[in-house]
Amino acid sequence: MSVDLGKYATTVLSAYAASLVLLALLVAVTFWRGRKIRARMTALDATKSKARSDAAH
């Protein structure tokens, strides 16, 4: 499969590249922050339930 973009090849390719890069960035940032926050919360919950079980003993 080959696509002939003619004289506008750079234009079309750069438009696709720019958009896909932006979308990828958005998704990457979203996941990165999501993971980080999720891990942080799990850690905090762990310390909390540990403190609670310590208090119970």
Distance CA 34, CA 42 (A): 12
For other proteins, the binding residue among 28, 44, 54, 56 (CB under 8 A) is: 44
Q: Which residues contact 13 (CB under 8 A, 6 or more apart)?
A: 5
15 binds other proteins per the rule CB under 8 A: yes
Interface with other proteins includes 24 (CB under 8 A)? no
Among 21, 25, 5, which Cα is nearest to 13's? 5
Chain residues that interact with other proteins, rule: CB under 8 A? 1, 3-9, 11-12, 14-16, 18-19, 22-23, 25-27, 29-31, 33-34, 37-38, 40-42, 44-46, 48-49
